[in-house]
Amino acid sequence: MRNDIDFRLYLVTNRKHLVKTSHFSLLTSHFFTAVREALKGGAKAIQLREKDLDTRKLLRLAYKMRGLTKKYKARLFINDRLDVALAVKADGVHLTQNSIPADAVRKVVHASRLTLHASRFLIGVSTHSLKEALDAEEKGADFITIGPVYRTPSKLKYGAPLGVDTLKAVTKKIKIPVFAIGGVKINKLKELKNAGAYGAAIISEVFGAEDIKGKTSEIIKALER
């Protein structure tokens, strides 16, 4: 198990959980307030996953996120966009099944001449089956997410949830850290840990909470217990 994956909560952003508005500036203001509260609560790894943004807006958000995460000594991952991750000197990138594979990402990072940065650049990969998990590990992913484990409205279009049995099957075969994702609530963390999950990737349980700082702290304690 990699010792540089030093976080159990992998927080994933979604601005639309915060306020019902399409106004970018208003959303951004609420977004950074929420992220700051999560960081104050102890979050040490955050994936910036705002798929609806164009490149300029995403880059602007990513630079601000880099500054904020550095202040709290937290890792920043960028969803899918390796170019944005390298531009803002993020700690890593999180790949989907439609992204370029992890081994190709590693080559690009090392060829970018950011040698010191490259040595600690981490790659996460979203997986939805044992086959995808094994493939991600083989291609050099540092960690994976597997899901959706539980039913969640945002993933209904992908079919039925995988369930805890699939999570168990993956954690038995995979040597890199496995983070459960999809419908994860605090009352499910013990079950996920018993199934072998290294940690949990969470969106709404944190960003939908009234007390984001308190909920983040509570989740981290449950995962580390």
Question: Which of 99, 126, 188, 215 is the catalytic position?
Answer: 126
Predicted local confidence at residue 19, as pLDDT? 55
212 vs 132: CA distance, rounded Å: 33
**Confidence class for position 131, pLDDT limits 50, 70, 90:** very high
What is the reported pLDDT for 98?
A: 94
Are 164 and 183 a contacting pair, CB within 8 Å? no
Q: Please state the length of the chain.
A: 225
Q: What pLDDT is recorded for position 21?
A: 46
| pLDDT, tens only, 159-210 | 789 999 999 999 999 999 999 999 999 999 999 999 999 999 999 999 989 9
pLDDT of residue 86: 94
The yes-or-no answer on residue 126 being catalytic is: yes
Output the pLDDT for position 111.
85
- In tens, the pLDDT along 1-21 reads 556 899 999 999 988 766 554
Q: What integer pLDDT is reported at residue 29 of this predicted model?
A: 79
**Domains of the chain by residue range:** 9-224
The span from the CA of 176 to the CA of 143, in Å, is 5
The superfamily CATH assigns to domain 9-224 is Aldolase class I (3.20.20.70)
Fill in the amino acid letter for 66: R
- Please state, in angstroms and rounded to a whole number, the distance separating the CA atoms of residues 20 and 33: 15
pLDDT digits (tens, 9 = 90+) for 37-85: 999 999 999 999 999 899 999 999 999 999 999 999 999 999 999 999 9
- Residue 41's pLDDT is 98
**pLDDT at residue 49 in the model:** 96
pLDDT at 179: 98
CA R_g for the chain: 16
Angle at 19 between CA 159 and CA 222, to 5 degrees: 65
Residue 157 has pLDDT above 90, yes or no: no
155 is catalytic: yes
Q: Do you find a cis peptide bond into 148, omega within 30 degrees of 0? A: yes
**Structure-token match 């079919």, residue found:** 159
pTM of the model: 0.93
- Give which of 96, 130, 123, 125 is closest to 108, Cα–Cα: 123
Catalytic annotation, pick one of 8, 49, 66, 188: 49
Buried b (16+ CB within 10 A) or exposed e, 188-224: bbeebbebbbbbbbbbbbbbebeebbebbbbbbebbe
**Residue 190: active-site member:** no
- Report whether pLDDT(121) > 70: yes
